[in-house]
Amino acid sequence: MPIPGNLLTTAMAVMPHTDIDRALETALSLDIPFWPQLPRLNYHEDMYVQAAEHFPGIILNLEKKTLRFSMEKFMAEFDEVMSNFDSAEIFDISKTYSAVYHRFLALDLSDRKAIRGQLEGPISFGFNVVDENDRPILFDDTVRPFLFEFMARRVNVQLARLLEKNDNAFMYIDEPGLQFLFSAMSGFGDVQAKSDLELFFSMIDRPRGIHLCGNPDWDFLLNLDMDILSLDLYTNHDVFASYAPAVKRFLDRGGVLSWGIVPTNVEPFEKESLDSLEALLEETWGRLYKKGIDRELLLSRSLISPATCCLVNPDIEKTVEKGFEVTRKLSARMREKYGLA
């Protein structure tokens, strides 16, 4: 199985560090490392900005730290982008947009169980980036189909780079916007949204999956044709455990779940312990076992990770690094408990 389970560790990519070496060291401390996204280092390292590189119509203001879209600029740049659509270069991430990515690719990662990359997904990108009329570009019927194809190619190019470093590389599509997708306020019809997401995943090479920290339509998400789902279980354990039939289908067809159980925000982190987090995880799993999910199957298809990214702690990276340490300790404890190699 390209994506290992057995309660190994990984994490989401956005980190509060401004020291690249320290951020990489922290990411490499987990079983499945990744290249960190460091928006506090500079604005180019922001996940939305990285996804926007070479996208026609983008207006990037580094001084004001804004990312917007111009339809006039889109039309002016569209033909040139299309003429280079078969070139991997315009879909990869340049050194300007991520020094960390290229530092990661320069490492020897061949001995790792797996490695992971990530890209901001088209739903979240399309919600976040607005045009001259402050309208999200996701709602534009002209731009949206191109957006999905452009981001699919970005994912595939990055995955190909990672596969050169490790045969078990895989990709997260970061989609925080999915929690708003099916609300009446989103302005994006759920039938259209589901159709677009299914088409998007059909264009992405495997292994592929979604990471998000919110509370979306879990039934829809677990039925997408993807290989891994990374979620904030710490916040959503009561809700997620109620979707046992969809979880079972996802696991039965080979899906992997990355259980985000260790909080990285200061207040929740300080009130938890290794014992309390283990109990929360076991309680959630116990509810799933009672609804017909096989324990050995679930453990073999599970990773353990921090619950969320965090950029707002007053101690900046310290609690986040403590969260990574607790993640490693929790994994080691539970792997010993269940005799996992």
Query: Are 24 and 228 within 8 A, CB to CB?
Result: no
CATH topology of domain 8-337: TIM Barrel (3.20.20)
pLDDT of residue 186: 52
Is 49 exposed, middle or buried, given 0-12, 13-18 or 19+ CB atoms closer than 10 A? buried
> pLDDT tens track of the chain, all 341 residues?
589 999 999 999 999 999 999 999 999 999 999 999 999 999 999 999 999 999 999 999 999 999 999 999 999 999 999 999 999 999 999 999 999 999 999 999 999 999 999 999 999 999 999 999 999 999 899 999 999 999 999 999 999 999 999 999 999 999 987 777 655 545 566 677 778 888 999 999 999 999 998 888 889 889 999 999 999 999 999 999 999 999 999 999 999 999 999 999 999 999 999 999 999 999 999 999 999 999 999 999 999 999 998 888 999 999 999 999 999 999 999 999 999 97
3-state secondary structure of 228: strand
DSSP 65-121: TEEEE-HHHHHHHHHHHHHTTT-GGGTSPPTTT-HHHHHHHTS--TTSS-EEEEEE-
Closest CA to 100 of 208, 161, 18, 29: 18
Torsion of CA 337, 284, 231, 318, to 10 degrees: -60
- Verify cis geometry, omega within 30 degrees of 0, for the bond prior to 263: no
* Cα–Cα distance, 297 to 292 (Å, whole number): 11
β-sheet bridge partners, residue 322: none
Spell out the domain ranges in the chain: 8-337
pLDDT of residue 188: 65
Angle at alpha carbon of residue 20, lines to 16 and 24, rounded to 5°: 90
